[in-house]
Amino acid sequence: MTLTLDAPAKVNLWLLVGPLRDDGFHDVDTLFCALELADTVSVDTTAGGGAGIRLEVDHAPPLQSMPELGSDHRNLAVQAATAMLDAMRRPRGLGIDLVKRIPPGGGLGGGSSDAGAVLRALDQACPGELDADRRQELAAGLGSDVPFFASGQALARGLGRGELLDPLPTLSPRTVVLALPHVHIATAEAYRWLDQDRSNGDAPPPPELGKPVPAALGWDDIAATARNDFEAVVFRRYPELGRLRDRLAHHGASPALLAGSGSTVFGVFDDEAAAATAAEDLRSRFADLFVVTSRTRPR
């Protein structure tokens, strides 16, 4: 049996970060929003014969070349398959084919989304063998973003490390311009900067997390509350990213934010023509900038 699923990119329409916990993690309050930009993940449950997990990777537009993904055993899709098969007490034998479209390393969740798609595919292939709570527990063990992608939701609020999900009704589709500079920001480093700057008084203190949100959350509500706590510390070190955000806002993006811990900057537009103008402006103003236009997922 072969199952083929989309593995969508995401942006965080808000991202609030609490103080450092005793276990070395941070509580967050974030709004995950899936995009139409997506990898394709195919899982062949008949491959391998129990001898291992075969991984094949290709790429397609908008990616212009193969991304650097590291060794197979470190790939999150392979780790997801291993965790799920072990939990179901099944042999480690299947094939995974990835077609990568999500640019890696920019805060868009490509690797986490691939892992979530593998978990969903194996759940469909072996219905009832693991309940939803156990699958989400496995997802949380793989990374803070993986539970959102494993849920298959298009919009969800995440609390805790991001694994405590509250699915929300989807918003009306909007155009999203993604600007990806040739800057790599490791998530762990961004958290270290945030803790350091907060202790030095160079960043605002941790906000209150988990405040109530409107039952019928709309784009106006999001625009009024949009915030990413990494922006202050990342933009201090990479001011060009702040300039990217400001250009998107200049063209009418609402919100315009850093994606995750970076380095992608994105803007949400209710006017496709304005989005196209903004994308062209960024390409002309900033050297070595990769600009992609997508849409929010309606469901």
Whole-angstrom distance, CA of residue 210 vs CA of residue 259: 20
Any idea how long the chain is?
Answer: 299
Whole-angstrom distance, CA of residue 126 vs CA of residue 129: 6
Q: Specify the DSSP element, H or E, that contains 37.
A: strand 26-44
Whole-angstrom distance, CA of residue 251 vs CA of residue 236: 23
Token pair, residue 277, equals 């103008």
- Three-state secondary structure call for residue 89: coil
Token pair, residue 147, equals 């539970």
Computed on alpha carbons and rounded to an integer, the radius of gyration of the chain in Å comes to 19
Going by C-alpha positions, the residue among 247, 266, 299, 279 that lies closest to residue 107 is 266
Half-sphere exposure of 151 (CA within 13 A, CB side): 25
Q: Clarify whether 10 is annotated catalytic.
A: yes
Catalytic residue among 6, 10, 270, 281: 10
Alpha helices (H) along 52-131: 76-87, 110-125
DSSP 73: G
Token pair, residue 137, equals 């527990």
Catalytic residue among 27, 39, 145, 229: 145
Give the residue numbers annotated as catalytic, written as ranges. 10, 145
